[in-house]
Amino acid sequence: MPKSYIGKRVKFLNKIEQKEFMKLAEEIIGAGTKGIALISKVGIRQISDWKNAKSTLSFYAFEKLLIATKIPRPNSIRIIDQYAHSRSAGKKGLVAVLKKYGKFPKNEKIRRANWEKWWKTVGIYQEREIFKRKSIKIPKKSIELAELCGILIGDGGITKRQVRITLNCETDKIYSKYVVKLFQKLFGTKPKVYKIKDSRALNICISRSDLVDFLFKHGLKVGNKLKQNLSIPEWIIKSEKYTTSCIRGMVDTDGSVVIETHLIKNKKYTYPRLNFTSASPILVEQTVQALQKFGFHPKIRRGGRSVQLENIKEIWEYFKRVGTSNPKHINRLGRSGSRGLRHRS
C-alpha cells in the first residue's frame, strides 16, 4: 500500500450517496460483497458497514474500486485523517468539562492531596450509610454454633470484614443449602451464594464486621488460619456435645469417604475409609483425641495430615453417633455396598 494512502479515509458528505456508490460498485464487479472485499483487501463485515454507511471507506479501497469499476469520482466526498473523529470527540469532551466545571481539572497529584486533606479533617467524621455496621443476631453457645465452627475450621475463611465457606457446587449442592439455613438460624442474616467462574466451587459469604468479631471472640482465626495454628476452640473442647457437633462440621467439609481397592489373588476387595485431612498438626491431634474419647480407634496416615477410621463397623457407628449433615458421605458409602446408614436431616 502506498504511503500516501496510509491513515487516510474517504468520507461521503451524504450517506445516501455512499450507499449508492457501494451498490453500483457491487453490480459492476458482479461478485457481491466477496468481490468488493477481494479488491479492497478488507473483511466482509467491513464491506457491510460501508454499504450501510456505518463507517468511512479507506482511501486505498476507494481508489481500487474506482479503478476496477471506472465509476466517476464523486464530488461530495472529503479525504480525512483516520483519527479525525477522535480529535473531534476530544474537543467535544473538553467543551463539556468546561461547561460543567468552568475550569480545567487539577493535576491528579494535587487533586489527590486535597482529597486526603479533606478526608482527614472533614470526611472521616461525616456519617455515611455505607460505613455503618450491619447488626447480626448474637446467638448463645449451642450445638448448632459448634457445628458452624467446625464447618469454618474445615472449609471456611475469615477476613477482617467477611466470612466465607467454599464448597463443591456439584457434590455439596444439598449441603450448601443446609449451611445457608444454619447461618440464618444463628445470626438472622442470609448469606450470598455464588459460583466461582471456571471451577466447580461455590462460595457462601456474609460481609459483616460484627460477625467476624463474634467468631474471633469464640476462638476462630481471622486471616491465614494455618499460620495461626488452626485448632478447635477451647469452649468446644470442654464439652462433649459441642465437640461432637464440631467434629461433624469438620468431617462434613474437609472429610471424605475413601474407597480403597486391593487385588488379592486376582480378586478385588474394597474397603471404605472415613478420612479427615488437615495441614494443622494441632487440629489433627485434637481430632484423634476426640475420636478416641468417643471410643473409636483412629489412625494417622499420609504423613501426619490425615485421620482415618478404617474399621467398617466404626464408620457405621460414627455416622450413628456423630452424624452428618452432608448426604454425599452416606451416598458414597451406599455405592460401596455398605448399608444401614441414614442422612441426618
- Strands 201-206 and 192-195, by their bridges, are antiparallel
What is the reported pLDDT for 345? 38
Beta-carbon contacts of 273 under 8 Å, excluding residues fewer than 6 positions away, are 257, 258, 259, 260, 308, 309, 310, 315
What is the reported pLDDT for 126? 74
Which among 95, 241, 119, 255 has a CA at the least distance from the CA of 175? 255
What is the reported pLDDT for 112? 84
Which of 54, 87, 120 terminates a domain? The answer is 87
d(CA 143, CA 136): 19
What is the reported pLDDT for 334? 73
Q: What is the mean pLDDT of residues 232-251?
A: 96
Q: Tell me the percentage of the chain whose pLDDT exceeds 90.
A: 43
**Does residue 94 belong to any structural domain of this protein?**
no
d(CA 116, CA 203): 35
Confidence category of residue 335, pLDDT binned at 50, 70, 90: low
What is the reported pLDDT for 59? 86
d(CA 329, CA 331): 5
Domains contained in the chain, number: 2
If one compares 340 and 296, the residue with the highest pLDDT of the two is: 296
Q: Is residue 235 over pLDDT 80?
A: yes
Query: Does residue 228 sit in the same domain as residue 319?
Result: yes
Q: What is the mean pLDDT of the chain?
A: 85
Contact assessment for residue 12 and residue 22, using Cβ atoms and an 8 Å cutoff = no
Confidence category of residue 323, pLDDT binned at 50, 70, 90: very high
Most confident of 48-62, 173-187, 320-334: 173-187
If one compares 160 and 81, the residue with the highest pLDDT of the two is: 160
Would you tell me how many other CB atoms lie within 10 Å of the CB of residue 19?
Answer: 15
What is the reported pLDDT for 247? 96
Confidence category of residue 157, pLDDT binned at 50, 70, 90: very high
What is the reported pLDDT for 129? 65
Query: Does residue 304 sit in the same domain as residue 175?
Result: yes
Which of 51, 71, 87 terminates a domain? The answer is 87
Give the chain's largest Cα–Cα span.
Answer: 99
**Does residue 134 belong to any structural domain of this protein?**
no
Contact assessment for residue 227 and residue 184, using Cβ atoms and an 8 Å cutoff = no
d(CA 86, CA 88): 5
**Does residue 344 belong to any structural domain of this protein?**
no
Query: Does residue 174 sit in the same domain as residue 319?
Result: yes
Phi-psi sector, 17: left (phi>0), alpha (psi -120 to 50), beta: alpha
Q: Which domain holds residue 81?
A: 6-87
Query: Does residue 318 sit in the same domain as residue 203?
Result: yes
d(CA 255, CA 150): 11
Q: What is the mean pLDDT of residues 96-102?
A: 65
Which of 42, 61, 87 terminates a domain? The answer is 87
Query: Does residue 216 sit in the same domain as residue 317?
Result: yes
Q: Tell me the percentage of the chain whose pLDDT exceeds 70.
A: 86
Cell of 206: 456474609
Query: Does residue 78 sit in the same domain as residue 151?
Result: no
What is the per-residue burial (b if ≥16 Cβ within 10 Å, else e) of 82-97?
eeeeeeeeeeeeeeee
**Does residue 103 belong to any structural domain of this protein?**
no
Query: Does residue 199 sit in the same domain as residue 65?
Result: no
What is the reported pLDDT for 57? 87
Range in 63-72, 154-163, 305-314, 315-324 with the lowest mean pLDDT: 63-72
CATH code for the domain of 286: 3.10.28.10
Q: What is the mean pLDDT of residues 102-131?
A: 75
**Does residue 98 belong to any structural domain of this protein?**
no
Q: What is the mean pLDDT of residues 172-191?
A: 94
What is the reported pLDDT for 175? 95
Query: Does residue 13 sit in the same domain as residue 149?
Result: no
3-state secondary structure 12-77: ECCHHHHHHHHHHHHHHHCCHHHHHHHHHCCCHHHHHHHHCCCCCEEHHHHHHHHHHHCCCCCCCE
**Does residue 110 belong to any structural domain of this protein?**
no
Q: Is residue 96 over pLDDT 90?
A: no
Q: What is the mean pLDDT of residues 204-219?
A: 94
pTM (two decimals): 0.61
Query: Does residue 287 sit in the same domain as residue 169?
Result: yes
What is the per-residue burial (b if ≥16 Cβ within 10 Å, else e) of 104-136?
eeeeeeeeeeeeeeeeeeeeeeeeeeeeeeeeb
Confidence category of residue 288, pLDDT binned at 50, 70, 90: very high
Q: What is the mean pLDDT of residues 298-321?
A: 91
Q: What is the mean pLDDT of residues 51-76?
A: 87
d(CA 325, CA 345): 6
Q: What is the mean pLDDT of residues 181-195?
A: 94
d(CA 205, CA 311): 37
**Does residue 101 belong to any structural domain of this protein?**
no
CATH code for the domain of 59: 1.10.260.40
d(CA 108, CA 112): 6
Query: Does residue 47 sit in the same domain as residue 186?
Result: no
**Does residue 100 belong to any structural domain of this protein?**
no
Q: Is residue 210 over pLDDT 50?
A: yes
If one compares 103 and 237, the residue with the highest pLDDT of the two is: 237
Query: Does residue 178 sit in the same domain as residue 323?
Result: yes
What is the reported pLDDT for 267? 83
Q: Is residue 36 over pLDDT 70?
A: yes
Query: Does residue 157 sit in the same domain as residue 297?
Result: yes
